[in-house]
Amino acid sequence: MPSATIKIFLVHGDAKRLRTAELSNWTGKAVAAPRNEFDGLISRDEAVGSGIYFLTGSDPETGKNAVYIGEAEVIRDRLKSHLEKDFWNHIIFFVSKDENLTKAHIRHLEGRLIEQAKSAERSVVTNSQGSGAKLPECDRADMEIFLEKIHQLLPALGADFLVPTAVQQNATSKKDILIYELKGISASATRASTGFVVFKDSQAVLKERPAAYKYPWVINLRKRLLEDGSLESDGKVLTFSKDTEFPSPSTAAAVVCGGTANGLAVWKNKDGIPLKDIESA
């Protein structure tokens, strides 16, 4: 993804309230606001245009992050119809300042974005289905550029549901791979811009350490990973079924060992150098 300059305007001087975002040399524009500023958001001139919008919040059944992705020829009118949905607490929408987004363009974008959000697995996608639309080759190329800009702006506006979890092949070299070995099991991982990622097929101990019961979060986290399928048991060991992201090396290490652990000390590179020494070198 190319470098870019982002211009964010805080309408009320507060980064959590109504704001707009633009990229240099791009005709698109994003507008974002919390739900309690809905009236201010839809009263803006941008809201009468066609575009893509995102409603973000928490899934009431699982408590996980959730997102609804939609398209509309008139953003303002479509957003009003979503007031009956109670899961969302934030809105972001994208329009084109040159008004060149057609119905086919936004349907195509909606379909692509739903696929990408589901693939990223960071949020529950509440859409029942995606629309999508076939476009001429030149239009598809233009929309891929628009998608790229959406990907650049969303994290700057506090939304990471499109950010993919780092995968093993994205490690720039073998020195980026970290290993944690204990009791005959082995897990591999890497630092990522979004956290600390344990790779698919890594192993974790089957049972928690007795000391883990002093720290229920470890037990609860392992239980949740088993319930959502990120961890699978064969009765002897737990195995990661997919690349799984954690907020820190120590959180990842706790899941692997079934108790608390200093991630900076136990994760090591192929030469046996711990992460704390690698990062302080």
Please write the tens of the pLDDT for every residue from 95-104: 998 878 999 9
Name the β-bridge partners of 94. 30, 52
Tell me the two tokens of residue 250: 């120590």
CA 199 to chain centre: 17
How many residues does this entry show for the chain? 281
Residue 218 — pLDDT band, cuts 50, 70, 90?
very high
Reported as a single tens digit per residue, the pLDDT across 70-83 is: 999 999 999 999 99
Rg of the chain on CA atoms, in Å:
22
Reported as a single tens digit per residue, the pLDDT across 153-204 is: 999 999 999 987 665 445 444 558 999 999 899 999 998 877 899 999 999 9
CA atoms of 206 and 106, how far apart (whole Å): 47
Mean pLDDT value across residues 21-44: 96
Which alpha helices (DSSP H) does 127-281 contain, by range?
A: 137-156, 216-227, 249-257, 263-266, 275-280
3-state secondary structure string across 29-97: EEEEEEHHHHHHHHCCHHHHCCEEEEEEEECCCCCCEEEEEEEECCHHHHHHCCCCCCCEEEEEEEEEC
Reported as a single tens digit per residue, the pLDDT across 19-28 is: 999 999 899 9
Q: What is the pLDDT of residue 172?
A: 46
CA atoms of 64 and 240, how far apart (whole Å): 20
Residue 274 — pLDDT band, cuts 50, 70, 90?
very high
| % residues pLDDT > 70 (the chain) | 95
pLDDT over threshold 90, residue 57: yes
pLDDT over threshold 70, residue 241: yes
Name the β-bridge partners of 180. 187
pLDDT over threshold 90, residue 61: no
Q: What is the pLDDT of residue 220?
A: 92
Mean pLDDT value across residues 233-252: 94
Lowest mean pLDDT among 58-67, 79-88, 166-175: 166-175
pTM of the entire predicted model:
0.77
State the maximum Cα–Cα separation within the chain, in Å, rounded to a whole number.
63
Reported as a single tens digit per residue, the pLDDT across 118-161 is: 988 889 999 877 667 788 899 999 999 999 999 999 999 999 99
| % residues pLDDT > 90 (the chain) | 73
